[in-house]
């Protein structure tokens, strides 16, 4: 397994290789060895130096490896040159992640998104894929047919890419209809580095069954569950695909419609594995991806998960550091410690109440649908029967307030803006 080290601290470079090993394991591979080189800039031919390429070829022969994976993105020419030098298939980090996504995709939408990203990655590399023709029979007499097939493949892939984009636009339109149907509900989106524990957290908060695995990219499809808060308040919490260092840009673009759930959320919950040695780098990666998706300015709440894996002193130090750096207080939880989730639930309630209007209304006592909507979508503070009418003080979201104003049998006597 090859992975150049461009002036990284030794410990950080080691962590990057360990993450690449975990990705390889997730893809079903077995690591036979590591190789690292410190270079000031990539070489045009092999990315690594000629001497290191020879060393890599020797390592491949000694370990009887059948695949080399680079932790950096290779150009089509570099990949082709390396395959010729080491004698086995060469894959870069982006291709490995795309392969993992292809095996983990479950829904029709996720499979289309992954296929689109794979085809966009493959298109500039088609010529390399056809290089086996020249090795098979020396290339004599094959140049014309080879080029013809290459152009045919490019045209077919281009047609398929256009078809997938069109279908994903239709799916995105359907998602938008679903989101409009949920207007009025308080929504939160879980984002974070892969394996930060987002799915475990959603399962613990909602009590509903959610796929949880201790593997990278266990879930690709967004999952929404209802979470009960206090005083009858509810939140719709959505788990989104995990992020990772050097996430292929084709993949980010393909999953943009899925990540629209985060764009429409009232608050983004940035979940961080508090116990991971590269916690700070993971936080920065997520912030960068959010910025690429134009989500950096959305309301964000930092949630440190897996605090049960920290010592008391480690947790205390993290709390002090966060208080000094973060403009808003972070929340410290463990999906395996139900009592710790109360802090997150309180934070969600505070965010929800910040979006509500306090209203005082008078409605006929028989207007059960109005009272039901107040209890279902808002928070009833006080209600008082006065003969055939009822006076109610409640906190309600803006969409419900608009519907109440449109009702002829509802008299609104007081509105206090957002709380």
Tell me how far apart the alpha carbons of residues 215 and 299 are, in angstroms, rounded to a whole number.
29
Instruction: Please report the sign of the dihedral spanned by the C-alpha atoms of residue 335, residue 210, residue 329, residue 184.
Output: negative
User: 2-102 and 184-353 share one CATH topology?
Assistant: yes
CATH of 184-353, one of 1.20.210.10, 2.40.37.10, 3.40.50.300, 1.10.1660.10: 3.40.50.300
Q: At what angle do helices 93-104 and 10-26 cross, to 10 degrees?
A: 40
Point out the residues of the chain with pLDDT beneath 70: 1-9, 127-148, 179-184, 209-221, 254, 256-258, 326-328, 417-419
pTM above 0.75, yes or no: yes
Residues 58-69 have pLDDT tens digits of: 999 999 999 999
* Domain assignments of the chain as residue spans, ordered by start: 2-102, 105-170, 184-353, 357-418
Please report the pLDDT score of residue 333 as a whole number: 95
Residues 96-130 have pLDDT tens digits of: 988 888 887 777 887 888 888 888 888 887 765 54
As assigned by CATH, the class of the 2-102 domain is: alpha beta
Please report the pLDDT score of residue 186 as a whole number: 87
Please report the pLDDT score of residue 263 as a whole number: 80
Please report the pLDDT score of residue 268 as a whole number: 94
Q: Does domain 357-418 have CATH number 3.30.70.240?
A: yes
Residues across the chain: 419
């Amino acid at each position: 397994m090859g992975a150049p080290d461009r002036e990284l601290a030794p410990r950080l470079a080691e962590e990057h290789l360990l993450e690449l090993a975990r990705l390889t394991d997730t893809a079903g591979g077995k690591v036979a060895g590591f190789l690292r080189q410190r270079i000031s800039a990539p070489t045009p031919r092999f990315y690594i130096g000629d001497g290191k390429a020879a060393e890599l070829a020797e390592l491949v022969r000694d370990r009887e490896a059948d695949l080399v994976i680079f932790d950096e993105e290779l150009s089509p020419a570099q990949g082709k040159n390396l395959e010729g030098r080491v004698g086995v298939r060469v894959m870069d980090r982006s291709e490995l992640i795309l392969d993992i996504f292809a095996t983990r995709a479950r829904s029709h939408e996720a499979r289309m998104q992954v296929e689109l990203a794979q085809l966009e990655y493959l298109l500039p590399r088609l010529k390399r894929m056809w290089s086996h023709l020249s090795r098979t029979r020396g290339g004599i007499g094959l140049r014309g047919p080879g080029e013809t097939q290459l152009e045919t493949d490019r045209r077919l892939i281009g047609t398929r890419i256009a078809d997938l984009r069109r279908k994903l636009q239709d799916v995105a339109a359907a998602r938008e209809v679903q989101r409009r149907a949920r207007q009025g509900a308080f929504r939160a989106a879980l984002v974070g580095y892969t394996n930060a524990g987002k799915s475990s957290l959603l399962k613990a908060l909602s009590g509903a069954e959610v796929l949880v695995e201790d593997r990278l990219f266990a879930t690709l499809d967004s999952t929404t569950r209802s979470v009960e808060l206090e005083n009858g308040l509810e939140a719709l919490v959505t788990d989104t695909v995990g992020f990772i260092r050097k996430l292929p840009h084709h993949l980010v673009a393909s999953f943009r419609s899925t990540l629209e759930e985060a764009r429409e959320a009232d608050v983004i919950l940035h979940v961080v594995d508090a116990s991971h040695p590269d916690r700070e780098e993971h936080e920065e990666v997520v912030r960068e991806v959010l910025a690429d998706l134009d989500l950096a300015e959305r309301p964000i709440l930092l949630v440190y998960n897996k605090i049960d894996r920290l010592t008391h002193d480690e947790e205390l130090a993290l709390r002090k550091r966060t208080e000094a750096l973060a403009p808003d207080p972070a929340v410290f939880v463990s999906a395996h410690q139900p009592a710790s989730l109360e802090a997150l639930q309180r934070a969600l309630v505070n965010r929800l109440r910040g979006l509500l209007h306090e209203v005082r209304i008078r409605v006929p006592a028989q207007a059960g649908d109005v009272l039901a909507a107040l209890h279902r979508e808002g928070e009833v503070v006080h209600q008082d029967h006065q003969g055939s009418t009822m006076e109610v003080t409640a906190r309600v979201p803006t969409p419900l307030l608009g519907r109440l104003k449109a009702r002829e049998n509802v008299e609104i006597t007081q509105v206090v803006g957002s709380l």
